[in-house]
Copies of this chain bind each other. A is one copy, B any other.
């Protein structure tokens, strides 16, 4: 059994377990009370705060514990936004933030604010200049993750923090995916994280607010955690979170080297072993333990089940694995293939043998899904171009063609529209076009991605009576 989804939640680190068990007897009392059990609980809490602050790189009185990373994000954003309401109510986020950030930003926008989502390149990163251009005179808050949770791409946080500081805009950094690997550089204003991502227990998040950053906690008053986080603090969990953060940091350099080599192996071998695969995310500026790839003609959910049966737990941003049947917003923002998407995030201690076994199992699992879907035979692997070919200008009316070919894939879910396209493509004359009618959200990503992988020209899309018409021109 190999659990390869530590970016969702990491198994409990042995130090976290030990600290949790040790503090169950000392940490259950109310730390605000005057008696010995309360004083003991307060000591544990403050010593955990000091340890966590050291790892974050802030002062202890700048850091509070929340009950989840999501709560840290929500509390951090609402407190920072309200404190700057006289400046404005404009929020800047990257298009690939965690849903907790996007939902809080959407919530603020719905309440009368406005929102700019800074686009990312095909590798998943914002450009510092592009981000800085989004800052306005009425920008109350900017948010940028330290590294992306789905594709592992590291964001240029230090540069963006510098640009925000120049403009006097506080930057909140969601460091959920990276804090176990190291502190976040640059003059950030607020920082959030989540303990169960680094092997700490569930139920603990961190919110750091630098001194001098305007902050006004929202919601009903509560005296705990400097008035910033309502509710009784789970001290044993907080102690376990701080102890395990320190422990994973001590192992970080060595583990980054070791897991980084295993991820390099996956990045290199998967495209050799599996035809028609796109490895996504920045190949260099990335988290050491995370790699994501998408497989053409593959149903992500079926592949996940096949891998699960083979003993591998991974996740996917494919539309079929989401409740809303849309591809992940990260893959959409990057404009990359979304079908057959697999995210591998290696927990600490993963052995090379586990990864080799995964590489041995994957090709057969993908082939079986493709066979089940009656997918076309795969084309030989070709090197991906660094950037996709630009779509033709103004798709407008379809170009003349004796019999303009139309594939009706309405009502069919990913990856069927692309499979149907591939099946008829041999009958399209070179220079001619084929149009796929689809009402599946993944087609918007996957048809252009297919063109890119096959060296054909994606012409563009236009609304159809039902769904959307995607047109492709055959070049060869």
Q: Are B33 and A8 in contact (CB under 8 A)?
A: yes
Q: Is A339 an interface residue (CB 8 A)?
A: no
- With A28-B11, A196-B28 as contacts: A305 and B231 at CB distance below 8 Å: no
* Shortest CB distance A22–B (Å): 12
Q: Is A236 an interface residue (CB 8 A)?
A: yes
Q: Are B202 and A37 in contact (CB under 8 A)?
A: no
Query: Whole-angstrom distance between the alpha carbons of A203 and B301 in the complex?
Result: 33
Which residue of the partner chain, among B3, B202, B301, contacts A235 with CB atoms under 8 Å? B202
Find residues 92-123 in chain A having any chain B CB closer than 8 Å to their own CB. 99-100, 103-104, 106-107
Q: Are A28 and B202 in contact (CB under 8 A)?
A: yes
Q: Are A233 and B3 in contact (CB under 8 A)?
A: no
Q: Is A237 an interface residue (CB 8 A)?
A: yes
* Shortest CB distance A175–B (Å): 16
Which residue of the partner chain, among B1, B30, B74, contacts A36 with CB atoms under 8 Å? B1
**Of the 9-residue stretches A215-223, A380-388, A409-417, A460-468, which lies at the interface with chain B?**
A215-223
Find residues 1-41 in chain A having any chain B CB closer than 8 Å to their own CB. 1, 3, 5, 8-12, 17, 20-21, 24-25, 27-30, 33-38
Query: Whole-angstrom distance between the alpha carbons of A188 and B25 in the complex?
Result: 36
Q: Is A70 an interface residue (CB 8 A)?
A: yes
* Shortest CB distance A103–B (Å): 4
CB-CB under 8 A from A100, the residues of chain B are: 220, 222, 230
* A residues neighboring B (CB under 8 Å): 1, 3, 5, 8-12, 17, 20-21, 24-25, 27-30, 33-38, 67-71, 74, 99-100, 103-104, 106-107, 194, 196, 201-203, 205, 219-223, 230-237, 301, 304-305, 307-308, 312-315, 321, 323
> What are 13 of the A-B contact pairs (CB < 8 Å)?
A8-B33, A12-B28, A17-B24, A20-B24, A29-B313, A35-B304, A36-B313, A67-B67, A67-B231, A69-B232, A70-B232, A106-B221, A196-B232
Could you list 17 further interchain pairs (A-B, Cβ under 8 angstroms) beyond the known A67-B231, A106-B220? A8-B29, A8-B30, A12-B24, A28-B202, A29-B313, A34-B301, A35-B312, A35-B315, A36-B313, A74-B220, A74-B230, A99-B222, A100-B222, A202-B232, A202-B234, A203-B232, A234-B234
